Amino acid sequence: MTPSLPTVPLGTTGMEITRVGLGAFAIGGPAWSYGWGAQDDDDSIRTIRAAVDRGINWIDTAAVYGRGHSEVVVGRALRDLPQNERPWVFTKGGLVWSEDDALQTGERKVGDPASLRREVQDSLRRLQVEQIDLYQMHWPAEDGSEVEDYWGALVEMRDSGLLKAIGLSNHDVAQLDRAEAIGHVDTLQPPFSAIYRDAAADVLPWCAHHATGAIIYSPMQSGLLTGRITEERVAQLPADDWRSRHPDFSGDRLRQNLRVTAALAEVGERHGISTGAAAIAWALVFRGVSGAIVGARTPEQIDGWVNAGSVELTADDIASVARAIRDSGAGSGPDAPR
């Protein structure tokens, strides 16, 4: 029997989601600008199946992850599952690449409605589904398209039944207001962790006010808050892992971030959970957060954080993390729920 995990409504979508969902970022492999390095597809499929077996009922991916490869792998993993056992599948579009870009030099942020409609059809094909449970615009467009252009196209596809729900990712309050004026924003996907906390100051309160579900990403800050990252390990990251080139993983920034990790490790020890699970549980405390997207490349990694949604942090836990944030000067944004 599949274990039962706590669930909450995802805004007004009618979907009840577990507090943690599986992120398929790394499953895409290295073939795009932010790849995490080589990934075996069989390991990915085992990981997706393990997430379902452990009670997780949603997976978040994107067309750009591995330039279509993540969606293909997700589709393969879920293909043979009975309908009543299939998790919700969420994906994203609006990051477009050229098929002849062999060097993977980058992706363009495109909001042209015709392009977006093609992307939806491509995602349907790769995922092997007739309707996408949640489709999100990955980033604000930079091709001259306005929010109204691409949001209007998504509203039409939701109304037609091609998309069950629609959302925005990495959009600010002003952009959310413009979209909401056209049609309800079902969900928002912002970055949020104990290091980057800006969403708690603006977009998460907006979501709470508008009954918009918020599924945050990077609650473990790309591994920084797992307790497994050290200066020595960072020095050994392969060149095809984007973290090897990011300022968060070097110098004073890295040392500041690891001080926050140490505080979360103490919280985890008090609750008998991993440091990563404590980081996720901390993020889930904030008003407006429906669930957290958490990546995994192996089933064993899932076991390290799947119980995060079942943990209730105390006021002392939250205060100790807030002190570490202030003392270290790490990141930005509110250091505790308000």
Residues contacting 24, CB < 8 A, separation 6+: 44, 48, 59, 60, 61, 62, 65, 70, 73, 74, 295
Residues with a known catalytic role: 65
Element (H, E) at 136: strand 132-137
Buried b (16+ CB within 10 A) or exposed e, 41-71: eeebbebbebbbebbbbbbbbbbbbbbbbbb
Q: What secondary structure letter does DSSP report for 25?
A: T
φ, ψ of residue 2 to 5 degrees: the values are: -65, 130
Going by C-beta distance under 8 Å and a sequence separation of 6 or more, which residues neighbour residue 147?
111, 140, 141, 171, 175, 178, 179
Contact 335, 325 (CB under 8 A): yes
How far apart CA 173 and CA 212 sit, in angstroms, is 12
Q: Output the six-digit token pair for 200.
A: 């708690």
pLDDT in tens, the chain (338 residues): 567 899 999 999 999 999 999 999 877 666 555 555 566 888 889 999 999 999 999 999 999 988 889 999 999 999 988 988 999 999 999 999 876 655 455 789 999 999 999 999 999 999 999 999 999 999 999 999 999 999 999 999 999 999 999 999 999 999 999 999 999 999 999 999 999 999 999 999 999 999 999 999 999 998 889 988 877 787 777 877 777 787 788 788 888 999 999 999 999 999 999 999 999 999 999 999 999 999 988 999 999 999 999 999 999 999 999 999 999 998 889 999 98
Q: Classify each residue of 168-198 as buried b or exposed e, where b means 16 or more C-beta atoms within 10 Å of its C-beta.
A: bbbbeeebbeebeeeebbbbbbbbbbbbbbb
So what's the pLDDT on residue 113?
Answer: 98
DSSP H helical segments within the chain, as ranges?
Answer: 41-53, 69-78, 113-127, 147-160, 173-180, 203-210, 231-235, 251-271, 275-284, 299-303, 315-328
Question: Residue 27 has what pLDDT?
Answer: 75
Structure tokens at 73: 């792998």
The residue ranges of every structural domain in the chain are: 17-328
User: What is the structure's pLDDT at 29?
Assistant: 64
pLDDT at position 103: 46
CA distance linking residue 260 with residue 194, whole number of Å? 7
**In this structure, what are the phi and psi dihedrals at residue 237, rounded to the nearest 5 degrees?**
-65, 140
Tokens of 139: 């980033």
The CATH class, in words, for 17-328 is alpha beta
pTM beyond cutoff 0.85: yes
Residue 232 CB neighbours (<10 A): 7
- Residue 330 CA, chain-centre distance (Å), reads 21
Burial string for 294-314 (b: 16+ CB within 10 Å, else e) reads bbbbebebbebbbbbbebebe
Q: 3-class secondary structure for 50-119?
A: HHHHCCCCEEECCCCCCCCHHHHHHHHHHCCCCHHHCCEEEEEECEECCCCCCCCCCCEECCCHHHHHHH
Q: Do the bridges between strand 16-18 and strand 7-9 make them parallel or antiparallel, or are there none, so unpaired? A: antiparallel
Helix, strand, or coil (residue 18): strand
pLDDT for the residue numbered 179:
98
223: Cβ–Cβ under 8 A, 6 or more apart, which residues? 229, 243
Q: What are phi and psi of 21, to 5 degrees?
A: -130, 160
